[in-house]
Chain A
């Protein structure tokens, strides 16, 4: 079985197109997730999506419909959040709990084959159809375009909310837009790596990128690049050596993060020795 044969298979090609789109969008959105300390919110939205997908399957709809509906609703609720950090954390926690409760109910009511549930939890990258590719690419394009438009105001309000408000920006509006973009990205990322591993594309690449540069747009681009290269390699390893794609992707992005932290620590030590 040659490499060229593997890469000529339609399902492998679909997978490559899908991860390319998803990785760029998640890497870029992920930079703001890390900058805004919203990892918990990102985590919650993924799990809320699980409940939505289970509900859609129960009603005989496509899981994507349920994912989209629930994730967007959760994004808006979390975006409205509250005035204090503890309010916002509590809103995330309550939204998460309520949705997971519904998810449990939907699964218990569903008597069919549990395959759909499994693929939502762990991803189904090698099962994406041409239609999925178009959906994923379209959503990713919308996310990246919207993020490009609000990049500077979102960055300003994320790093200095009080002075951004005084300068005329609306923290609430930007937060709502961002949470909606996060929800959309989560929906497509779930297609690839699943609910449980959505962090591998949304948080780990951005966290690694933040260690490597202190210029925001570089960190954002680097985050997208780390996500993209990890996904490509993960997909390739899975096809070539076997093993789940999700495993390879998570291993690669986590490894990159550890490497970035190691580099940071090593450089700090170099500086210390130079001074001493």
Chain B
């Protein structure tokens, strides 16, 4: 039984198609990396699995059931959090991951205390577990957030950009941690990322989303010039450095149109724009013009 099974699945948000006809599975104990341009719908894929966003077409099974919010077998690390701003200790925060959905005051039972301690230990966060979250470094907070998302031992862990805003050393530590978590618990892990290289050593499957399409398979079956060129609709080149890091050239052409607006789109605007990626580069450029014209009118 697959952990996740998308069949002919399409997702639309606000009447706009995000991606369509995705066919992919995620197997137990595997690590999948979701790649693609900003706004292509990587986070949306996780949200569909979580039952937060419905499919507009096709089917999705999570542990052979329809996706539903509050699935006790699914752990989730969201991209936007407010842990940099909290005076709560790491241990308390991880504790909320264990029993935060239950009513009443709750007591620190021995089961909870042990689960929290184990999750913090596995994440390598024991040394700073009693410090407030705001006082931790980005890498330390990411470890705590991983413990928070996995403290109830989910069989599927969804991580949205766990490497964002970390330096290379911290990225490497988190990648090792993801691998350790998979090996220790046997859970399947799906990681949304914007850079393949730090994750390449541990990845079993790549899901690449661009131009409303999703390609999936082993790393070399997806991240090769033929597949990516076809997916993006123009020539993509892949250069492998002597140390085995891939430099993928040509992805940025999708966004290389001159902007008619004096300020480049940022934040949600950029997501909206990218979500409208057309079938041809020219259409995309027209979409830019149309959107800004509407916006300024």
A168 contacts B92, CB within 8 Å? no
B92 contacts A215, CB within 8 Å? yes
Closest chain A residue to B134, Cβ basis: A214
Q: Which of A152, A168, A215, A216 is within 8 Å of B69, CB to CB?
A: A168
CA distance A148 to B82 in the complex (A): 24
A169: chain B residues at CB < 8 Å are 70, 100-101
Query: Within A26-54, which residues are at the interface with B (CB < 8 Å)?
Result: 35
B82 contacts A160, CB within 8 Å? yes
Closest chain A residue to B51, Cβ basis: A166
CA distance A150 to B92 in the complex (A): 17
B83 contacts A159, CB within 8 Å? yes
- In the assembled complex, how far is the CB of residue A151 from the closest CB belonging to chain B, in whole angstroms? 5
A152 contacts B100, CB within 8 Å? yes
Number of residues from B at the complex interface, CB < 8 A:
34
Q: Which of A162, A166, A210, A214 is within 8 Å of B92, CB to CB?
A: A214
Number of residues from A at the complex interface, CB < 8 A:
27
Choose among A150, A162, A166 the residue with the greatest number of B CB atoms under 10 Å from its CB. A166
Query: Within B48-105, which residues are at the interface with A (CB < 8 Å)?
Result: 50, 52, 69-70, 74, 76-83, 86-89, 92-93, 96-97, 99-105
Choose among A35, A148, A159, A219 the residue with the greatest number of B CB atoms under 10 Å from its CB. A159
B96 contacts A159, CB within 8 Å? yes
A152 contacts B50, CB within 8 Å? no
B76 contacts A163, CB within 8 Å? yes
Interface of A is mostly: helix
CA distance A217 to B101 in the complex (A): 16
With A155-B96, A165-B52 in contact, do A148 and B88 touch (Cβ < 8 Å)?
no
Query: Within B110-140, which residues are at the interface with A (CB < 8 Å)?
Result: 130-132
B52 contacts A166, CB within 8 Å? yes
- In the assembled complex, how far is the CB of residue A152 from the closest CB belonging to chain B, in whole angstroms? 5
Query: Does B149 sit at the interface, judged by CB under 8 A?
Result: yes
A156 contacts B101, CB within 8 Å? yes
A-side residues, CB < 8 A to B, are 35, 148-153, 155-156, 159-169, 210-211, 214-217, 219
Residue contacts A-B, CB under 8 angstroms, 26 given: A150-B103, A151-B105, A152-B99, A152-B105, A153-B100, A153-B101, A155-B100, A156-B96, A159-B93, A163-B76, A163-B78, A163-B81, A163-B148, A164-B100, A165-B52, A166-B50, A166-B52, A166-B70, A166-B74, A166-B78, A168-B70, A169-B100, A214-B89, A215-B89, A217-B105, A219-B87
In addition to A214-B89, A216-B88, 5 A-B residue pairs with Cβ atoms within 8 Å of each other are A149-B103, A155-B96, A159-B82, A162-B78, A214-B131
